[in-house]
Chains A and B, each alone.
Chain A
Amino acid sequence: MAHFEIKDLTFSYPAAKGKRSLEDVCLSIKKGEYIVLCGKSGSGKTTLLRHLKSVLAPHGKRGGEILFNGVPLEKVSQRDQSAKIGYVMQDPDDQIVTDKVWHELAFGLESLGCDQKTMRARVAEMACYFGIGDWFHRDVANLSGGQKQLLNLASIMAMQPEVLILDEPTSQLDPIAASDFLNTVRKINLELGTTVIITEHRLEDIFPYADRAIVMDGGKVIADDTPRRIGKLLYEQGSDMFSAMPTPVRVFYGAGGEGECPLTVREGRNWLSRVFPEAPGVSSFPAEDLAEEVADPALLLKELWFRYEKDSPDILRGVSAEVATGSLYAIVGGNGAGKSTTLKAICGICKPYRGKVKVFGKPVEKYKSGELFHGCLAMLPQDPKSLFVKKTVREDLEEMTRDKALIEQIAATCQITELLDSHPYDLSGGEQQRAALAKVLLTKPRLLLLDEPTKGIDSFFKETFAAILGQLKEQGITIVMVSHDVEFCARYADRVSMFFDGQILTTDTPRRFFGSNSFYTTAANRMSRHVFQNAVTAGDVVELYKRNREG
């Protein structure tokens, strides 16, 4: 018997004027399956997942049927649904209810009315299984994002659910925490046999382990197959979703490979070794010139030292950098290394106790307070929501300037013209990011600072975002961004810097930078480095592959 049986599910939101968010969705999910649900933002993934639990199901017009263990979902009691269907949401912080880790773990059990003895045993079990023992007594406020999301998972697992539904659980986490989290989910599926239904942008981490991938577009299921075959389907359909596939898949089909499609870097390497048993004729792109002295830098950092408190450790320990005017400069590096602090130091929010910041040749402290943030520099914060004040995007933009023509122009650049009358909180992550960018651009900055701009955005929106950045660069705007997103930086940055231990260690072009790293580099590079020397993006690998096969 199927665990979940979805029959002809259609749904439309009341405000959508008949436009359907889900259309004739038919799915059957077996017990113990691991299912990846993918699709662009707004393709109906979240709407579908929410229908799988009655209390979360959105209001609207609905048709069709959902069976859980053969019983219509509406007939399954609230108590059973709470315990048996676990649901992890996107934002780690908002989901946590109580102030202590131990209390949060017990929250679901308290609701079910378990007695002390059962709760103690279950909570202890969960704390051990998830490695929470060390921070069991802590305040939730002191946890990292990854720990918070793990806590959410653990507190749901304490109720011993049969199905675990996860709606983009890692979109707010850094790559290391994200892959830890996904490994734990996989472990639960393997060791406990819990059915897992997950939506996720980071397909590289879960595709190889999933039993089935379901692709949605415009509220419809457009593909439902094993991960190995789904790439081919999407490639043949010419779907937008193909760009979200893991690098090995994209390289394989992009290059027109034959046989079984590789899913992991290891399989990709083996495939390339089979294709090129001997060193290929063209094994690298021509060497680029060494990074030369920047003649007239837009931004100059010279040995910045900074600490937050008098007695706290130094966060910045001699940061130096030069950013050429009109370039996209990316700073990559681990969590808590001081990347965001560097941005704050550039715009004078943090004042370094030693060192110099020069913006367009003038020390930042010499700017008058109004002058710096009008027509000179501006920063896009990590969380775009911290910029929105008004009820519609248009009003929000009007807060920055009265110039209607400029608003129209920048809205067009950021591709948010159709969204101008929506509430900023109703937009998807990628749309919010662009609306916030528009707002920041209205201060007419010549130097734009971006803090983790690709966090929580799907691959399709990332491409749109990159195109916007390209346009801005053409207008002569200099862009400095800090990011965890190695793939994005490799593809779009002009210079990449490695930030570690409060310093910028190396700076180079993406090709030289990632080409010389062997761990901290892109999947495409890891997959091809034994054959090609400096291919860092999927496109690079495909190009070299084709040159060798055709030439």
Chain B
Amino acid sequence: MGFESYHPAIALIWSVGTIAATVLFKQPVFLVIAYLSAFLYSVKRNGWRAVAFGVGLIPFILAFTLYYSSYHHFGVTVLRQNMIGNDMTVESALCGLTIGILVASVVMWLSCVISVFTADKVVYLFGRVSPRLSLFLSILLRLVPRLKARARKIATARKAVGKGIGQGNILQRIANGVKIVSMLVTWLLESMATTSDSMRSRGYGLKGRTAFSIYRFDDRDRSVVIGLFACLTSMLMAYILGWTQIRFDPRVVMAPITPVAHVFYFGFALFCLLPMVLEVWSEQRFRALRSRV
């Protein structure tokens, strides 16, 4: 039901698109659109934790603005002088604020992207580029939980003969810890030898390796791609035509907010919120269907 149920390619286009646009589009309207939709979607995906996270970012934005304006002194509208006699200007404060909001938006977008991109999607996308690369990624993903489990097992076994990390004096404890790491390495090498036997035994290294995927690019994905590209076109035009720009030095000059610009605002907002719109829409429909039963 969620956005993660679409084909990984869509998640990729959307993630790259939103983050790139968020970084490039500094005009205040675009900035606010990006910031608000990042906040909304992260709350939709991650719930209350995202609210706390999003609110928690605000002090950082303000702190950054303060820091930026105290060290950059371009601009013509002087507010006041700071204690060492440098000018604090409105322009540098606004520029700092813009960068702060921008970074906060990107951070929130990343939290959404991580929850949309499950590990197997990443493996799949790499598989399109190089089956070998995606295989190594997959092996790596398997290794991490195995190492953890093994470390726990060794630690327990050592503890039960009086050689645990928490037993003996400090020197012994350190020595015991080091030994556990060394055992892990030995075990890992030994286990990888078997794994490599198993890989070669199943034809690893033959020419013409392919990558299997459980994903299917269906009509639903196709229609979303069309929608995404329509929005992307409008965003590209906005960028080329300069609707997304703002300058702070020497004074603030930004693309004006005209009726035509609203088209571009809409296109960008739609792009950012498309996953959320799709999710809300399908949840609504599901609820409607269920209530009819």
Interface residues of A (CB under 8 A from B): 53, 55-56, 78-79, 82-83, 87, 89, 91, 93-100, 102-103, 106-116, 119-120, 123, 137, 139-141, 152, 155-156, 159, 344, 347, 349, 369-370, 372-374, 378-379, 381, 383, 385-389, 399-400, 425, 439-440, 443, 449
Chain A residues with CB under 8 Å of B199's CB are 97, 107
Which of B161, B191, B202, B203 has a CB less than 8 Å from the CB of A373? B161
Q: Nearest residue in A to B145 (C-beta to C-beta)?
A: A141
Which of B139, B153, B191, B214 has a CB less than 8 Å from the CB of A102? B214
| With A98-B139, A385-B187, A386-B183 as contacts: A155 and B156 at CB distance below 8 Å | no
Contact, CB under 8 Å: B202 / A82: yes
- Bound complex: CA of A140 vs CA of B131, how far in Å? 20
- Given A389-B183, A443-B161: 5 more A-B contacts, CB < 8 Å: A99-B138, A108-B202, A112-B203, A379-B157, A386-B183
Contact, CB under 8 Å: A387 / B212: no
4 closest A-B pairs by beta carbon, nearest first, are: A373-B162, A82-B203, A111-B203, A106-B212
Query: B residues 53-78 with Cβ under 8 Å of A?
Result: none
Which of B146, B162, B209 neighbours the largest number of chain A CB atoms within 10 Å of its CB?
B162
Interchain Cβ contacts under 8 Å between A and B, 23 examples: A55-B200, A56-B197, A82-B202, A89-B198, A94-B195, A97-B198, A102-B212, A110-B131, A111-B203, A111-B205, A115-B210, A116-B212, A137-B214, A155-B202, A344-B160, A373-B160, A373-B162, A373-B167, A378-B160, A383-B153, A389-B179, A389-B182, A440-B161
B158 within 8 Å of A by Cβ?
Answer: yes
- Bound complex: CA of A349 vs CA of B163, how far in Å? 12
Report the minimum CB–CB distance from A87 to chain B (whole Å).
5
Contact, CB under 8 Å: B157 / A100: no
Which of B191, B200, B203, B208 has a CB less than 8 Å from the CB of A94? B191
B135 within 8 Å of A by Cβ?
Answer: yes
- Bound complex: CA of A139 vs CA of B20, how far in Å? 32
Which of A123, A159, A381, A386 has a CB less than 8 Å from the CB of B212? A123
- Bound complex: CA of A98 vs CA of B120, how far in Å? 11
Which of B145, B156, B206, B211 has a CB less than 8 Å from the CB of A78? B206
B204 within 8 Å of A by Cβ?
Answer: yes
Chain A residues with CB under 8 Å of B203's CB are 78-79, 82-83, 108, 111-112, 159
Contact, CB under 8 Å: A113 / B162: no
Chain B residues with CB under 8 Å of A369's CB are 166-167
Which of B138, B153, B202 has a CB less than 8 Å from the CB of A103? B138
B1 within 8 Å of A by Cβ?
Answer: no
Report the minimum CB–CB distance from B131 to chain A (whole Å).
7
Which of B123, B141, B153, B201 has a CB less than 8 Å from the CB of A386? B153
| With A349-B159, A449-B160 as contacts: A96 and B210 at CB distance below 8 Å | no
Chain B residues with CB under 8 Å of A100's CB are 120, 138
Chain A residues with CB under 8 Å of B290's CB are none
Which of A119, A370, A386, A425 has a CB less than 8 Å from the CB of B154? A386
Which of B167, B186, B202 has a CB less than 8 Å from the CB of A111? B202
Report the minimum CB–CB distance from A142 to chain B (whole Å).
9
Q: Contact flags (1/0) for B232-244 with A, using CB distance below 8 Å?
A: 0000000000000
- Bound complex: CA of A372 vs CA of B159, how far in Å? 11
- Bound complex: CA of A206 vs CA of B167, how far in Å? 47
Q: Nearest residue in A to B214 (C-beta to C-beta)?
A: A102
Contact, CB under 8 Å: B201 / A53: yes
- Bound complex: CA of A103 vs CA of B158, how far in Å? 35
Contact, CB under 8 Å: B182 / A82: no
Chain A residues with CB under 8 Å of B202's CB are 82, 107-108, 111, 155-156, 159
| With A99-B138, A425-B186 as contacts: A370 and B167 at CB distance below 8 Å | yes
Q: Interface residue count for B (Cβ, 8 Å)?
A: 53
Chain B residues with CB under 8 Å of A387's CB are 157-158, 161
Report the minimum CB–CB distance from B155 to chain A (whole Å).
9
- Bound complex: CA of A388 vs CA of B161, how far in Å? 12
Chain A residues with CB under 8 Å of B146's CB are 93, 141
Chain A residues with CB under 8 Å of B219's CB are none
Query: B residues 113-141 with Cβ under 8 Å of A?
Result: 119-120, 123, 131, 135, 138-139, 141
- Bound complex: CA of A103 vs CA of B182, how far in Å? 31
B258 within 8 Å of A by Cβ?
Answer: no
Query: B residues 142-191 with Cβ under 8 Å of A?
Result: 142, 145-146, 149-150, 153-154, 156-163, 166-168, 179, 182-183, 186-187, 190-191
Report the minimum CB–CB distance from B170 to chain A (whole Å).
13
Chain B residues with CB under 8 Å of A344's CB are 156, 160
Contact, CB under 8 Å: A82 / B201: yes
Which of A91, A113, A443 has a CB less than 8 Å from the CB of B206? A113
Q: Contact flags (1/0) for B89-115 with A, using CB distance below 8 Å?
A: 000000000000000000000000000
Report the minimum CB–CB distance from B9 to chain A (whole Å).
15
- Bound complex: CA of A385 vs CA of B185, how far in Å? 12
- Bound complex: CA of A279 vs CA of B179, how far in Å? 62
Chain B residues with CB under 8 Å of A56's CB are 197, 200-201
Chain A residues with CB under 8 Å of B183's CB are 386, 388-389
Contact, CB under 8 Å: A386 / B194: no
Q: Nearest residue in B to A83 (C-beta to C-beta)?
A: B203
Chain A residues with CB under 8 Å of B168's CB are 370
- Bound complex: CA of A377 vs CA of B167, how far in Å? 15
B287 within 8 Å of A by Cβ?
Answer: no
Chain B residues with CB under 8 Å of A113's CB are 206-210
Chain A residues with CB under 8 Å of B214's CB are 102, 137
Contact, CB under 8 Å: A111 / B161: no
Which of B150, B158, B205, B210 neighbours the largest number of chain A CB atoms within 10 Å of its CB?
B210
Q: Nearest residue in A to B184 (C-beta to C-beta)?
A: A386
- Bound complex: CA of A100 vs CA of B123, how far in Å? 11
| With A344-B156, A389-B179 as contacts: A98 and B142 at CB distance below 8 Å | yes
Contact, CB under 8 Å: B195 / A97: yes
B46 within 8 Å of A by Cβ?
Answer: no
- Bound complex: CA of A369 vs CA of B141, how far in Å? 37
B284 within 8 Å of A by Cβ?
Answer: no
Contact, CB under 8 Å: B162 / A443: yes
Report the minimum CB–CB distance from B202 to chain A (whole Å).
4
Contact, CB under 8 Å: A91 / B160: no
- Bound complex: CA of A388 vs CA of B153, how far in Å? 13
Q: Nearest residue in B to A387 (C-beta to C-beta)?
A: B157
Contact, CB under 8 Å: B212 / A119: yes
Chain B residues with CB under 8 Å of A347's CB are 159-160
Chain B residues with CB under 8 Å of A399's CB are 163
Report the minimum CB–CB distance from A81 to chain B (whole Å).
8
Chain A residues with CB under 8 Å of B198's CB are 89, 94-97, 152
- Bound complex: CA of A344 vs CA of B160, how far in Å? 8
Chain A residues with CB under 8 Å of B197's CB are 55-56, 89
Contact, CB under 8 Å: A103 / B160: no
Contact, CB under 8 Å: A97 / B162: no
Report the minimum CB–CB distance from A293 to chain B (whole Å).
29
| With A95-B194, A97-B199 as contacts: A386 and B157 at CB distance below 8 Å | yes
Contact, CB under 8 Å: B141 / A99: yes
Report the minimum CB–CB distance from A378 to chain B (whole Å).
5
B81 within 8 Å of A by Cβ?
Answer: no
Report the minimum CB–CB distance from A52 to chain B (whole Å).
11
Chain B residues with CB under 8 Å of A116's CB are 210, 212-213
| With A370-B168, A389-B182 as contacts: A95 and B157 at CB distance below 8 Å | no
